[in-house]
Amino acid sequence: MTARTNLIRANPMTTESRESYSPAYIAKVLQENKVIASVGMSLNPIKPSFLVGRWLSLRGFTIIPVNPAYAGQEMWGKTTYGDIDEIKEHIDMVQIFRRSEAVPAIVAAALQHLPNLKTIWMQLGVSHPEAAETARARGIEVVQDLCPKMELQRISGELGRYGVNTGFVTSRLLPLI
C-alpha cells in the first residue's frame, strides 16, 4: 500500500469527490517542505491565508508571500512577490489560496520558474484534477483540498486536545513536525 492512497471519498459539503491522504504521506510532505511560496497570501490578519501563514511561520516554516496586491510589502521578514516568476529563492512547496479556476496558471508558472519545487498544496476548497495530474507527471507531489496547519495539528494530536475528532487515534501526543 502506498502512502498516498487513491481512495476517493465523497465530500459531504459538496457534490465533488476528494482524494484521501494517509497521515504518513501528509507528515512526509510537511517534513520535506520547509520553504513555502504561499500564493494568495493576505496581509489582512483575519483572513485564513494570513492565519495559516503566521502559524506555519511560527512552527519553523519559511513563508514566501505571493500576492500582486501586496507586492513589495514585508510579511514575517519576507518581501511579498507579485507573481511566482519573480521569486529568486529556493522554494520547496507552493501553497495555493486561490480559487480552483486559478490553479492551472499557478501550477504552470510554478513548474516553469521553480526548479527545486517538490510539492503543490491546494488549500481547503481548492482542487483541480487536471493541474494536479500535470504536476504529478513532472514528479511533483500534490495535495488538494486540505490545510497544512490543520493537518499538522491533526497528526500531532493538537486538535484532539481541543475536542476535535481527528480520526487519528493515539495514546500519546506526537511532536509538531
Q: pLDDT in tens for each of the 177 residues of the chain?
A: 344 443 333 333 343 446 789 999 999 999 999 999 999 999 999 999 999 999 999 999 999 999 999 999 999 899 999 999 999 999 999 999 999 999 999 999 999 999 999 999 999 999 999 999 999 999 999 999 999 999 998 888 776 555 655 565 555 555 555
pLDDT of residue 29: 97
Whole-number Å distance between alpha carbons of 7 and 18:
9
Distance in angstroms (rounded) separating the CA atoms of residues 111 and 29: 18
SS (H, E, C) the chain: CCCCCCCEEECCCCCCEEECCCHHHHHHHHHHCCEEEEECCCCCCCCHHHHHHHHHHHCCCEEEEECHHHCCCEECCEECECCHHHCCCCCCEEEECCCHHHHHHHHHHHHHHCCCCCEEEECCCCCCHHHHHHHHHCCCEEECCCCHHHHHHHHHCHHHHCCCCCCCCCCCCCCCC
Q: How much is the pLDDT for 35?
A: 98
Domains, in order of start, for the chain: 8-147 (3.40.50.720)
pLDDT for 132 = 98
**pLDDT for position 162:** 59
Backbone φ and ψ of 114, nearest 5°? -120, 90
Q: Which residues contact 116 (CB under 8 A, 6 or more apart)?
A: 90, 91, 92
Cα angle, residue 18 at apex, residues 169 and 128 outer, rounded to 5°: 135
User: Which pLDDT belongs to residue 171?
Assistant: 52
pLDDT number for residue 174 = 54
| pLDDT value of position 160 | 59
pLDDT for the residue numbered 156: 80
pLDDT of residue 72: 96
For the whole prediction, is pTM greater than 0.85? no
